[in-house]
């Protein structure tokens, strides 16, 4: 007896029957963790273990004798039929398939299938083992869905999203990165990050080292390079990427282009600064105008009374030169504050430039070549002609000072259209047709630091005795007041280009009637009521009028004037009134005076007003305004014209020029 025989119990059957063998196999198969079924030669289920029944939710007798196709998920049936036919050919395979449970839910399973062959090697059936991977598939689907969402966020993000490895090579480059920096993903992936300017390379390497050690950056403001060579300001957020062990394997960076935001912020801060300075300048200029009018008036009176050979005449004339400089500075302050009196008219830009041609050539000197290239079809603009002349003169003076050794100044006019994309970047502008005035000089140019400040009040690169720093700030204020835009480009050593855009209007140019010159030597006898809250100015006006024979009544304010006119029984032919006064403005006072004397005429005086003549109720063709500071001849001429009914326009003054 063999050792194996001795080891068997006495009651064991050394020769089990086929049914006993089958029963033993069924016990083994039912104990398996995988689902198992066996197919017969007709590919019908001939055996199914308990695990398979549990996986599908059926009892064994509900599965036996049926085709596997009855339980395959409908989406996978076209593929399973082919596989079943391949089983007949004796091919063993493994594949993933979906099955439909009895309750309608989906079962994902890895199926390992082997053909069963008889002694002759013919197909006799197949054995299939099923491993339930439903939970894994659900997790994969969630992961895939999350990944798709993440990819959509990355692809649609307005922010640049980059992933680089620890050596600085690009692993991911989203569409926003392409839009912001100009390089495509194909050009940068696998290569060193191209956006680092040469002078920022050390700074980047330091940051890269710190991120590799686990440091995060949040909203760090840095400068980066675009493909076209330009530099942009960006905000940067970074975080390290780690593998399963926690080791840092890369860096994710989220980048926001803040170049435009910073430009708009600078414009906003500049506008706030201009507004604050403007309020201060307007108040100072208003009071200073009153004093200048007195100084100018009394110096004129002195010159009129002194003989030409008097030694004090030259002193007074020197005083007049200083006075003219002060008047020019005051007008610039008012332009800066946008508080000067403006009388917008429809003007032909070409005609204005042409009329100033001789003046400009004398102003810039023979060492500078002046070229004017205007478009004969250029549109018209609506602006106070004095303001337009002020812009042209100031830019010409700036160009002259930038070319002390000579050069070329080109003045061009052209039509242009500003689209919504352009105007959206410049608050206050609206899309539409504009006229562009261009000044291009070949002077010394300006660097980026200077360009950032040129429109700020009192900023100047000239010597203290050559400029006030108000020229370009004044131009900026005038252009903005007229709903326009000014921009400048400059390169050191290559000159500067100023472009001024003003809204185009489809109207005929206004005709400015010529002023009739009257003799101011005659004596007059009308009665004039002066209403002025500044004592020194009121005294000067009274003396100037009385020297020409006028009778004068005086009032400090509007209420005093109303009371005086009620008490005065004699005639009053004209009211000479300040516009802005405490308690009651000049126009409001005049409306009440008209109820007492309907025939009463008025001349307003002001050097300080809101945006235009109409803003304080000075409307109508008969409104006459005398700008402060004025000289005695202007005062007498305006009064005479209004009394005689020959007045047509308010008194004009030469525009203030930077550096005067």
Write out 536-552 in H/E/C secondary structure: HHHHHHHHHHHHCCCEE
3-state secondary structure (DSSP) of residue 610: coil
pLDDT > 60? residue 350: yes
More confident residue, 399 or 81: 399
pLDDT at 561 exceeding the cut of 70: yes
Contacts of residue 191, Cβ cutoff 8 Å, sequence gap at least 6: 169, 170
Exposure on the CB side of residue 648, measured as CA atoms within 13 A: 8
Note the pLDDT tens digit of each residue in 247-296: 888 888 999 998 888 877 877 776 676 666 666 666 666 677 777 777 87
Q: How far apart are CA 95 and CA 557, in angstroms?
A: 102
Residue written as tokens 């007059």?
524
* pLDDT band at residue 325 under the 50/70/90 scheme: low
Mean pLDDT value across residues 182-198: 90
The runs of H, that is alpha helices, within 213-356 are 259-305, 312-337, 349-355
Sheet of 160-165: strands edge to edge?
170-173, 160-165, 248-257, 231-242, 217-225
What confidence category does residue 564 fall into, taking pLDDT thresholds of 50, 70 and 90?
A: very high
This prediction's pTM: 0.46
Rounded to whole angstroms, what are the CA distances from 14 to 22, 28, 429?
16, 20, 105
Q: What is the pLDDT of residues 312-324, one digit of tens each?
A: 888 887 777 777 6
Instruction: Name residue, tokens 């500044």.
Output: 534
Out of 19-28, 126-135, 443-452, 485-494, least confident range: 19-28
569-589 confidence digits (pLDDT tens): 899 999 999 888 888 888 889
Domains, the chain, ordered by start: 20-132 (3.30.450.20), 157-257 (3.30.450.20), 345-505 (3.30.565.10), 527-644 (3.40.50.2300)
| Mean per-residue pLDDT of the chain | 81
Lowest mean pLDDT among 138-142, 158-162, 544-548, 606-610: 606-610
Confidence (pLDDT) at 214: 83
* In the block, residue with structure tokens 């205007």: 374
Of 5 and 461, which is predicted with more confidence? 461
Instruction: With cut-offs at 50, 70 and 90, classify the pLDDT of residue 620.
Output: low
pLDDT category of residue 113 using cuts at 50, 70 and 90 = confident
Report whether pLDDT(416) > 60: yes
pLDDT at residue 478 tops 90: no
Under 8 Å between Cβ of 390 and 351:
no
């Amino acid at each position: 007896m063999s050792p194996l025989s001795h080891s068997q119990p006495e009651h064991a059957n050394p020769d089990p029957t086929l049914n006993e063998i089958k029963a033993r196999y069924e016990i083994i198969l039912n104990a398996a963790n995988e689902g198992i079924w066996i197919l017969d030669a007709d590919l019908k289920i001939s055996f199914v273990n308990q695990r398979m029944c549990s996986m599908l939710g059926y009892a064994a007798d509900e599965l036996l004798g049926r085709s596997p196709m009855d339980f395959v998920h409908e989406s996978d049936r076209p593929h399973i039929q082919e596989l079943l036919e391949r089983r007949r050919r004796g091919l063993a395979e493994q594949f993933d398939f979906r099955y439909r449970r009895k309750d309608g839910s989906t079962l994902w399973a890895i199926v390992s299938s082997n053909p069963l062959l008889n002694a002759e090697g013919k197909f006799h059936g197949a054995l299939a083992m099923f491993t339930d991977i439903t939970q894994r598939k659900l997790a994969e689907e969630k992961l895939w869905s999350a990944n798709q969402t993440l990819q959509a966020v990355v692809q649609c993000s307005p922010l640049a999203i980059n992933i680089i490895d620890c050596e600085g090579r690009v692993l991911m480059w989203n569409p926003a990165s392409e839009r912001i920096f100009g390089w495509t993903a194909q050009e940068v992936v696998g290569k060193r990050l191209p956006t680092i300017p040469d002078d920022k390379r050390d700074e980047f390497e330091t940051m890269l080292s710190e991120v590799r050690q686990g440091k995060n950056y949040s909203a760090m403001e840095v400068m980066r390079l675009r493909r076209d060579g330009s530099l942009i300001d960006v905000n940067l957020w970074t975080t390290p990427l780690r593998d399963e062990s926690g080791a840092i394997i890369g860096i994710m960076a989220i980048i926001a282009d803040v170049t435009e935001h910073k430009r708009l912020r600078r414009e906003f801060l500049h506008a706030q600064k201009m507004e604050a300075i403007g309020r201060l300048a307007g108040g100072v200029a208003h009071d200073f105008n009153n004093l200048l009018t007195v100084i100018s008036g009394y110096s004129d009176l002195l010159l009129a009374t002194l003989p030409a050979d008097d030694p004090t005449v030259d002193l007074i004339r020197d005083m007049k030169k200083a006075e003219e400089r002060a008047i020019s500075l005051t007008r610039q302050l008012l332009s800066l504050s946008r508080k000067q009196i403006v009388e917008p008219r429809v003007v032909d830009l070409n005609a204005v430039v042409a009329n100033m041609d001789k003046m400009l050539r004398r102003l810039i000197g023979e060492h500078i070549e002046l070229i004017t290239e205007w478009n004969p079809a250029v549109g018209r603009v609506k602006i106070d002609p004095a303001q337009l002349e002020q812009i042209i003169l100031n830019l010409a003076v700036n160009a002259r000072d930038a070319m002390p050794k000579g050069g070329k100044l080109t003045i061009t006019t052209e039509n242009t259209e500003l689209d919504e994309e352009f105007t959206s970047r410049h608050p206050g502008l609206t899309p539409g047709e504009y006229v562009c005035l261009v000044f291009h000089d070949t002077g010394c140019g300006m660097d980026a630091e200077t360009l950032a400040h040129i429109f700020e009040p009192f900023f100047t690169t000239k010597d203290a005795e050559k400029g006030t720093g108000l020229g370009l700030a004044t131009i900026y204020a005038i252009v903005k007041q007229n709903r326009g835009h000014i921009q400048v480009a400059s390169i050191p050593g290559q000159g500067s280009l100023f472009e001024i855009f003003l809204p185009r209007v489809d109207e005929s140019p206004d005709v400015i009637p010529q002023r009739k010159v009257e003799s101011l030597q005659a004596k007059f006898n009308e009665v004039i009521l002066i209403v002025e809250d500044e004592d020194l100015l009121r005294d000067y006006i009274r003396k100037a009028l009385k020297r020409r024979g006028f009778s004068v009544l005086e009032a400090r304010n509007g209420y005093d004037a109303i009371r005086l006119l009620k008490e005065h029984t004699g005639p009053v032919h004209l009211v000479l009134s300040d516009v802005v006064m405490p308690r009651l403005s000049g126009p409001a006072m005049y409306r009440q005076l008209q109820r007492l004397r309907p025939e009463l005429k008025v001349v307003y005086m002001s050097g300080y007003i809101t945006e235009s003549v109409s803003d304080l109720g000075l409307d109508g063709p008969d409104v006459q305004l005398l700008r402060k500071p004025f000289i005695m001849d202007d005062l007498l001429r305006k009064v005479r014209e209004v009394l005689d009914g020959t007045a047509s326009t308010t008194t004009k003054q030469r525009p203030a020029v930077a550096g005067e």
